[in-house]
Structure formats: C-alpha cells, structure tokens
Structure 1
Amino acid sequence: MSQQPFSAAALRGAVDLSRLGGGNGRPGAPASAPGAAAQAASAPAGGGTGQAGDGVPGRSGALVHADDASFEAVVNASLTTPLVLVLWTPQVPESVQHLRELAQAARDKEGRFQVVGVDLAAAPGVMQALTPVLQQTFGQVTALPVVIGLVGGQPMPFYLGVQPMSQVDQLLDQFLQAAVTNGVTGRVELADADAAGGEADEDAEAELPPLHQAAYDAVERGDWTAAQQAYEQALREDAGDEQARLGLAQVQLLERTSRMDLTAVRQAAADRPTDVQAQLDAADLDVVGGHVEDAFVRLVDLVRATTGEDRDRVRTHLLGLFDVVGSSDPRVGKARSALMSALF
C-alpha cells in the first residue's frame, strides 16, 4: 500500500474505467424485475438500509448502491472516505445477507467506512472495470460476493464468498488503519435507520405475498424444492405473476449450480467445446457469477454448432436463462437477436 493517497487518475491504471458505459440500470435496482429473493434483497436508491437518498457514495448512510453510471463517483469518494465495495447478485442470496452484515459493521464502527453495494446484474461494466485487479489477486472469481476495499483511489481486494464476520471485523480494522496511514479519515453521517441498527428499514420493506415469502424463506435455508413448490403454486393461482415466474427460474438455476464443482465444470467446458452438457453447466455458472453476456454468447455459439435435438436442447436452456435475467434487460434483447440469427 502506498504511503501517499492515490488520485482518481492513478486508479485508472488499476481499474479500467474506460470499460464503463453510460449505465444501464438504476442505482441499487436490478436490470430486470426480480423474483422474491431479489425483491427482498435490492434496496432502491430512494431509501432503505440507511443508504444515501441519491445513491452517491460519501453522503449519509452506512450503505449506498452504485451502478455503471455512478461507479466513477465511488472512486472519487474513496479519496476522502474509506469504502468497502461489495459485488453481489440476487441469484446468490447469501451474497445479499453478507452485504447487510457489512453494512451493520459500518454502523458498529460509527461510519468510519461506507459500504457500496453493486448488483452485478445491473452493473456489468463495474465487473469488467475491476477484472484486471481481481485476476491479479484471485486468478478467477469463483464465488460471490466479491469484497474489495477502496481507499485513496486504491483498490484492495479482500476476499471472495461469505466469510465469518469475526474474521472480517479484524480485516476491517486493518483496512481502517491503512486508511489512516494514507490520510483518508472521512466518516459518513449515519442516518436514523442506521442509528436504530437498520430496524426502521426492515419495517419499511414492502411485505411480500405469502407464497413469495414462503419461497424466499425456503431459499434462505437452502430448500430448493420448497421454494420451487411455492412459486409453482403462485403461478397456478395467477398465471400472470411475473415475479413468481422469474423467481422460479432463479431458484431452478440455484439448485442446478449448488451441486456443481466449479473447477471441474470450467475444465470440462474448456476441454470439450462441443459437449452440450458441459457448455450448459458452464453457462449456468457464468450467469450466477454475473457473467451474463459470456453465458449468452457461449450458448448462441453452441446453437450454431449443433443440430436436431441437441440444438433444441441448447435453445430451450438459453430461453430459460433469459427468464432468469429478465426480458427487460438489454443483454437479453441482444442475445435474442443473436439467437434468431443463429437459428435462421
């Protein structure tokens, strides 16, 4: 760690901000209408979880949310206030819970750092911008959330996946000591909800329909069968329940990937580029890991390379992943066009 604060320009050497577009999502909101797990997880930029009203880091609140459009503001805010960047996705509920735990840690430490949540489904450019830093530290992102310290414009990758908060607290103490050494000692003003430990935010959350709540509770305890049954019942009662349809697709994806050995799947996909099952499994992991476009390109290319039943199997699987991401996501629209071109 340098003994001098970095400037925002210095960060451009570590984080490729040129990859950021104009932003394709609202701060804190997924690019598609989420299922129950995502609905309970996401905190829109207008309130909740003690975040700043406009989602701009450095304002009041232990937790704010950022997307592609606001990420450069995150870099600038870290020049004065230590930030902890959390890359999460609604498709991995434990990443949502860990985001909340880190926000509580920021409250416990009286605003000495601020947590910035980035929903990877809504901010693919952020992941692209951070890829060089992450590859240098981890090689490959194999779990979510991805947790990164950001101080004085300098990224400090912390860890992948959920870690025990007892260990995380020690890491945060070291991070804050490094921030002091680099002259980055700003604090955030804790909002009323923060002072109440986030209770006001929990009370303010919109109540889910009973079957959606049952599905979300089942996801939280890892009971995929019960979650699917709840969503299926919701669809039987209301065939037009878009939230249930998306939630069901997400749960089915989570169930499939929960049984996978990531290293083995990646190796199989690399070794057998025309093996349909190997490529379907790799595409599932791509989506769970936030690499949505990679998954779509992989399967569109496979459609081109297959015929008959194999082609139909790949096409059906790809349509299912469209349901996971949501039809309103521009990446889905782009992939649908590519699929039509591949088919005809």
Structure 2
Amino acid sequence: MTNMPPTGSNLRGAVDLSSLVNRPAAAAPQPAGAGASAGAPTSAATIAVPSLVLDGTDANFGEILELSNTVPVLVDLWAEWCEPCKQLTPVIEKLVLEYAGRFVLAKVDVDSNPQLSQAFQAQSIPTVAAVINGQPVQLFNGALPEAQIREVLERVLELATQQGVTGTAQANTGAPVAAEAVEVPLPPHHQEAYDAIESGDFETARAEYRMALAQNPNDTMAVAGLAQASLLFRLQGKTLDQIRGGAAAAPQDLEAQLLVADLDLSGGHVEDAFDRLLTLFPAQEPAGRNAIRERLLELFEVIGTEDPRVAPTRKRLTALLY
C-alpha cells in the first residue's frame, strides 16, 4: 500500500518506475545555469536534447526520466512485427515535431527492452504513455486517428501545466524553438482550476471545472479534471493512518471504504481500489450500489478511461448491475 499522502502529482497512471529511476545512469544534460536539486521541475526552462525523437532503452531510460522534469515525454512502445505500430508511430513523430519542443518522444522496442515493457504494463502494442515530472501517465493502446491523438496530447499538456512542467526541448540542430509554441493558453476555467489546485484550494478547482462543463458538457478534459480535483478534495487534510484506521474500525461504513479506495488509487494501487469497491458492491442497498458505481466511474476518469484496467472493471461492474 502507499506510504505517502496523495498529491496532484501522482494521480494518473500506476506504473512503478522506481527501479528505473534508481538505476545508475549518466547524468542527463541540463540547461545552462540550472541549479535545482535533482528531480525538481525546471518549469519553463529550455533543455537541449540530441533529437525530439529518441530511442528509449532499458539502459538509458533514467536519463529520459530526467527530461520529464522539464518537458512531457511521450513513450511509444512498439515492435518491428507490429503492423498497427507502423501506422501509429509516424503520426506521433509528426505531431511531436509540430509541437516544436513541447514534447520529447521516446520510442521503445518492446522486444529489445523487456524491463520497460513490463514497467509500462504493455499488455498489447502499440501502447502509448507519457511521463511528466517522473510520473507515468497511461494514454492509449492501439492506432488512433491523428485528430484523436492530437486531443490526447492537448490533455497531456494541460496535465503537465498543472504539475509545473512547462519547459521546452530544443534539438541540437541549431533550429530555434518557435516562440509561439512555448505557451499554449488554457481555457479560462481550466486555468482558474489549475491555479486553485496549485494553491491547494480543491473546492474552487471543482467549481471551476463544473462551470467549464456547464458551458460545454462535452469538455472531456474538464470531466477528468473534476474527477481529479474531487479525489484530492476528499483526501485533503486526512492522514494515511486516519483513513485506513477508520475503515478498519468500521468495515460496514461505506464512506470509510470509499475513502480507502481513493487512497489506494492515488498511490498507484489501482487494482486494489477497484477490487475493494467491486467486492463491497453486492452487499449494499440500492443507494450504496449507486454510490459505488458513481465512484468507480469517477476513478476511471482519474486514471484515464483508456487505461487497460478500466475495461475489465467496467465488465465486472456491468455483471454485478445486471
């Protein structure tokens, strides 16, 4: 179970990259004048990279993780024999270049790099993930149309902005990064929500996301943002011992059990959170079942509905409902 309280920086994704982070590796290149401690976000800095498209390996991924403190790193897990990969990878490369340094792409051949394949839980390929400030984010599996991929990348940029990762990467080709690509303005309510999250005011963040949804019910980024802010709001001010102790003392208290599921998911224990809620479901009255169903749907948004663990959980929930 998680040993640390949840924060906005460890919500999405549940890949344990600690073994890769701790592996001895050559120091990643840093921008001139960088004096921040290792692992600290470098905010709006510009960092030099050999290329915006890199080959990620079991051996060099520690360095690539360091880049994610400055700029979001996309991870494309592929194989030579994978036909959908051959359709998807060129599209991602094209988009990364269009964003002019807002992303770095790491291409990972799963056959040659089994540790990375396992770390990112690549149950099928192509699998695309991101790493932001050292934290993994599950994105999608399979080949998607370019328009959908672009939408995913915009969502990644918003999440990166929330976590203070707003720098750019510049390839060592001498080509300047386009100034207009450095800052992508957020919609007003999204910006207000991110500012509120940054200051720990999760209730205001929830209100801003609700206003964004009132203006556009199809705003998928606001749906995900509201789910994340709501989880942080529920856990705010509570310690790990309080949450787990309360649930242990009152096993029939549904709210206490829901809160433990929140804690598990925020610490990356997604399967534990989902299994806890699905196990509780059959014994509940209709109101309790509805509360569990709504919480599961919200947690799906927190980790990303494209996460491979969502589909089987939906299937189990549907079987319990009907």
Normalising by structure 2, we get a TM-score of 0.50
> C-alpha separation between the residues in 1 aligned to 2:55 and 2:236?
33
Task: Indicate which of 284, 306, 322 corresponds to 2:262.
Answer: 284
Task: Please say if residues 47 and 170 of structure 2, whose CA atoms lie closer than 8 Å, have aligned partners that are also in contact.
Answer: no
User: Residue 214 of structure 2 corresponds to which residue in structure 1?
Assistant: 236
Task: Please say if residues 139 and 306 of structure 2, whose CA atoms lie closer than 8 Å, have aligned partners that are also in contact.
Answer: no
Are 2:54 and 1:54 aligned? yes
TM-superposition CA deviations, 1:58-92 (whole Å, max 9, x none): 3887515486955984969xxxxxxxxxxxx99xx
Distance 1:243 1:268, change over 3 A: same
Matched AA of 1:318: L
User: Residue 333 of structure 1 corresponds to which residue in structure 2?
Assistant: 311
Residues 86-97 of structure 1: pairs in structure 2 closer than 5 A: none
Distance 1:201 1:228, change over 3 A: farther
Matched AA of 1:54: L
Cα deviation for residue 228 of structure 1 reads: 1.8
Residues 3-22 of structure 1: pairs in structure 2 closer than 5 A: none
User: Residue 342 of structure 1 corresponds to which residue in structure 2?
Assistant: 320
Distance 1:254 1:55, change over 3 A: farther
Are 2:252 and 1:274 aligned? yes
> C-alpha separation between the residues in 1 aligned to 2:297 and 2:201?
25
Cα deviation for residue 281 of structure 1 reads: 0.4
> C-alpha separation between the residues in 1 aligned to 2:74 and 2:210?
33
Task: Please say if residues 272 and 278 of structure 1, whose CA atoms lie closer than 8 Å, have aligned partners that are also in contact.
Answer: yes
TM-superposition CA deviations, 1:284-323 (whole Å, max 9, x none): 1112112222111110111022223222222222222223
Distance 1:309 1:211, change over 3 A: closer
Task: Indicate which of 207, 227, 236 corresponds to 1:249.
Answer: 227
Task: Indicate which of 184, 201, 205 corresponds to 1:227.
Answer: 205
Task: Please say if residues 49 and 201 of structure 1, whose CA atoms lie closer than 8 Å, have aligned partners that are also in contact.
Answer: no
Task: Indicate which of 184, 189, 192 corresponds to 1:214.
Answer: 192
User: Residue 67 of structure 2 corresponds to which residue in structure 1?
Assistant: 63
> C-alpha separation between the residues in 1 aligned to 2:210 and 2:293?
23
Task: Please say if residues 205 and 229 of structure 2, whose CA atoms lie closer than 8 Å, have aligned partners that are also in contact.
Answer: yes
User: Residue 25 of structure 1 corresponds to which residue in structure 2?
Assistant: none
Distance 1:328 1:274, change over 3 A: same
Distance 1:232 1:304, change over 3 A: same
Runs of 4+ in structure 1 off by over 6 angstroms are 199-202
Cα deviation for residue 337 of structure 1 reads: 0.6
Task: Indicate which of 259, 266, 277 corresponds to 1:299.
Answer: 277
> C-alpha separation between the residues in 1 aligned to 2:197 and 2:214?
20
Aligned length: 199
Cα deviation for residue 15 of structure 1 reads: 6.2
Question: Helix, strand or coil: the match of 2:185?
Answer: coil
Residues 303-322 of structure 1: pairs in structure 2 closer than 5 A: 303-322=281-300
Task: Please say if residues 138 and 306 of structure 2, whose CA atoms lie closer than 8 Å, have aligned partners that are also in contact.
Answer: no
Question: Helix, strand or coil: the match of 2:261?
Answer: helix
* More relative contact order, 1 or 2 (CA 8 Å, 6+ apart): 2
Matched AA of 1:324: V
Question: Helix, strand or coil: the match of 1:54?
Answer: strand
Distance 1:216 1:284, change over 3 A: same
Task: Please say if residues 274 and 313 of structure 2, whose CA atoms lie closer than 8 Å, have aligned partners that are also in contact.
Answer: yes
Distance 1:301 1:207, change over 3 A: same
Residues 24-63 of structure 1: pairs in structure 2 closer than 5 A: 53-54=53-54, 56=56, 58=60, 62-63=66-67
Q: Percent identity?
A: 37
> C-alpha separation between the residues in 2 aligned to 1:270 and 1:120?
31
Matched AA of 2:223: R
Cα deviation for residue 324 of structure 1 reads: 2.3
Task: Indicate which of 94, 98, 119 corresponds to 2:136.
Answer: 119
> C-alpha separation between the residues in 1 aligned to 2:178 and 2:240?
39
Distance 1:245 1:75, change over 3 A: closer
RMSD (Å) for aligned C-alpha atoms: 4.3
User: Residue 28 of structure 1 corresponds to which residue in structure 2?
Assistant: none
Matched AA of 1:119: P
Normalising by structure 1, we get a TM-score of 0.47
Distance 1:326 1:203, change over 3 A: same
Note the residue ranges of structure 2 that are not aligned, 5 or more in a row: 1-17, 21-40, 78-107, 117-128, 141-168
User: Residue 177 of structure 1 corresponds to which residue in structure 2?
Assistant: none
